[in-house]
């Protein structure tokens, strides 16, 4: 530990957001980087704790060696710090942009935590800029072949490790570009797509094959030594109301996919919010991404409905440190809505009662109703609390209920009651040559958990096929 008083001498400084006015005018990165000097100073705030909760199960799922690379960064040994980071983190440029940084919430400095996320982004971007990141081509090949179905973070992490272990890896992806939700889901301003494409090019140079626009079919994968299913948990939760098929009613990921395709083409989105009153159902992260995207597309207004009550401002007694704090957060999209509209777009304890349509079958309004909890914990509608809101675009961001049926039936598999392909023994092995990882195995989660699970599955497959 270089600086014993760093956390006392230096205040926490995060990478700043670009001003709302500027960032609402484009889909470019939300943040600006800080200069190297600031990052070195920030790294000095890491206390090299006796028990580093940041890398424990409460913190980073990849168990990144955070105190070690923060110390190296503080000392200016950037290349060595990056090497230490890459021992456990396959793609720090993804997590450096989108991770909610469980490690920072578990940091002993709590609200004043070390800026691990910004530090990791600085290290990997410095590595790319200085040419330290070069294709790592395995010196020997095992002759074993593995198919990875799905190119989201879990599939990419598994493909990366399996390739480094010498196996021949083919990634099969039904979309036209690789990346899963990193490409089509998470918006460009949160994760610029050039960053995803840069990594894919590197992986190709390292020997991994990507077959795009290809829906995996079990009978076409019989020749492989192992098949890892990383198809995600992409089946959206619907609403139990009439007119869900009305024009102008969309699931969030479809809307966000169209938005990213438009950004990549430099064209207007086929499902643009421009000139519309937009209502987003779901107060979570996906809903927030819809809010930010709708504002950039030029919506007239955006409102976010959430059936749960607003979370507390501070931790409650049953949610102590180092657990993830279940508190009220105002994310970038909500901040932008407050800036543009003058008030928080979120309305709590409210749901959709009726979708209103015009004579052509297009949505033109929404009837909402307030909800309250019964003593048994069920939700019930509050009598006479209905309200009608103008709405020409309704985005459903109410969560996900598991993996898609098409992949299940193609591989003759059955998901559990929560829509997951989670083997009962806790492994990744579904039987025969078939394995699962990421959201498909665990349910919709986080990029960093998908990366960790992809790597765990790769290790399991490696152990198995080396004995074939
Ligand atoms: C809008 C949104 C925003 C999010 N923001 C964040 C965030 O900021 N931070 C964070 O940590 N997490 C975020 N998440 C969650 C995170 O993106 C997921 O947990 C993560 O991407 C899961 O990775 P995965 O590899 O398991 O699956 P996915 O990323 O879903 O990838 C699955 C891939 O499999 C492909 N596929 C499926 N079936 C087949 C088939 N039969 N044949 C071929 N290909 C197939 C799909 O096309 C897809 O490309 C967000 C999620 C959403 C929906």
- The fold for domain 145-234+401-465 equals FAD/NAD(P)-binding domain (3.50.50)
Residue 31 has pLDDT above 90, yes or no: yes
CATH number of 249-396: 3.50.50.60
3-state secondary structure of 29: coil
Q: In the predicted model, what is the mean pLDDT of residues 380-389?
A: 98
Q: Which residue has the tokens 């200016």?
A: 76
Instruction: Give the whole-angstrom CA distance, residue 264 versus residue 285.
Output: 22
Per residue in 210-246, pLDDT (tens digit) is 999 999 999 999 999 999 999 999 999 999 999 999 9
Instruction: Give the whole-angstrom CA distance, residue 306 versus residue 395.
Output: 13
Q: In the predicted model, what is the mean pLDDT of residues 180-193?
A: 98
Instruction: Give the whole-angstrom CA distance, residue 229 versus residue 434.
Output: 7
Other CB atoms within 10 A of residue 173 CB: 25
Q: How far is the CA of 230 from the centre of ligand 1 (A)?
A: 9
Instruction: Give the whole-angstrom CA distance, residue 467 versus residue 339.
Output: 60
Q: Which residue has the tokens 């099969």?
A: 172
What's the pLDDT score for residue 144? 98
Instruction: Give the whole-angstrom CA distance, residue 422 versus residue 220.
Output: 23
Instruction: Give the whole-angstrom CA distance, residue 99 versus residue 186.
Output: 12
Domain with CATH 3.50.50.60 in the chain: 145-234+401-465, 249-396
Q: Which residue has the tokens 């207007």?
A: 268
Residue 1 has pLDDT above 70, yes or no: no
* Residues in contact with ligand 1 (CB, 6 Å cut-off): 98-99, 149-155, 172-175, 180-181, 185-186, 190, 215-216, 230-232, 234, 253, 256, 285-286, 289, 404, 407, 438-440, 444-448, 450
Q: How far is the CA of 153 from the centre of ligand 1 (A)?
A: 7
Q: Which residue has the tokens 């290349």?
A: 79
What's the pLDDT score for residue 3? 82
- The fold for domain 6-129 equals Fumarate Reductase Iron-sulfur Protein; Chain B, domain 2 (1.10.1060)
- DSSP-assigned letters across all residues of 285-321: HHHHHHHHHHHHHT-SEEEEE-SSPPPPSS--TTS-T
């Amino acid at each position: 530990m270089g600086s014993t008083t760093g956390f006392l001498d230096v205040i926490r400084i995060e990478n700043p957001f670009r001003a709302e006015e500027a960032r609402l005018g484009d889909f470019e990165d939300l943040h600006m980087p800080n200069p190297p000097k600031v990052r070195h100073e920030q790294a000095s705030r890491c206390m090299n704790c006796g028990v580093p909760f940041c890398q424990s199960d409460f913190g980073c799922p990849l168990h990144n060696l955070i105190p070690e690379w923060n110390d190296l960064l503080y000392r200016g040994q950037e290349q060595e710090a990056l090497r230490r980071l890459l021992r456990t983190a396959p793609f720090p440029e993804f997590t450096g942009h989108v991770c909610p940084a469980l490690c920072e919430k578990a940091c002993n400095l709590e609200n004043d935590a070390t800026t691990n996320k910004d530090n990791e982004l600085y290290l990997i971007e410095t590595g790319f800029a200085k040419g330290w990141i070069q294709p790592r081509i395995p010196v020997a090949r095992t002759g074993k072949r593995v198919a990875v179905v799905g190119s989201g973070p879990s599939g990419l992490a598994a493909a990366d490790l399996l390739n480094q272990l010498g196996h021949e890896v083919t990634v099969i992806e039904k979309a036209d570009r690789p990346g899963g939700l990193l490409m089509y889901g998470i918006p460009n301003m949160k994760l610029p797509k050039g960053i995803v494409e840069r990594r894919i090019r590197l992986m190709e140079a390292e020997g991994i094959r990507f077959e795009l626009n290809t829906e995996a079919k079990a009978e076409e994968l019989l020749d492989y030594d192992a098949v890892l299913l990383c198809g995600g948990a992409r089946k959206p939760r619907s609403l139990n109301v009439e007119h869900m098929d009305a024009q102008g009613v969309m699931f969030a990921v479809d809307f966000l996919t169209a938005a990213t395709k438009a950004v990549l083409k430099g064209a207007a989105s086929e499902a643009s919010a421009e000139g519309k009153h937009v209502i987003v159902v779901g107060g979570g992260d996906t809903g927030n991404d819809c809010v930010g995207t709708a504002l950039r597309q030029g919506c007239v207004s955006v409102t976010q409905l959430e059936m749960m009550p607003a979370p507390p401002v501070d931790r409650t007694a049953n949610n102590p440190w180092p657990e993830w704090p279940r508190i009220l957060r105002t994310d970038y999209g909500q901040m932008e809505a407050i800036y543009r509209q003058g008030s928080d777009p979120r309305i709590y304890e409210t749901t959709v009662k009726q979708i209103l349509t015009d004579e052509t079958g297009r949505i033109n309004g929404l009837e909402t109703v307030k909800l309250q909890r019964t003593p048994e914990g069920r939700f019930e509608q509050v009598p006479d609390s209905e309200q009608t809101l103008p709405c020409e675009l309704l985005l459903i961001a109410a969560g996900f209920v598991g993996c898609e049926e098409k992949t299940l039936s193609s591989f003759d598999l059955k998901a559990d009651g929560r829509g997951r392909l989670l083997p009962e023994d806790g492994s990744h092995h579904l039987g025969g040559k078939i394995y699962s990882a990421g959201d498909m195995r665990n349910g919709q989660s986080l990029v960093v958990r998908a990366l960790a699970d992809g790597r765990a599955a790769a290790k399991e497959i490696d152990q198995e096929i080396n004995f074939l």
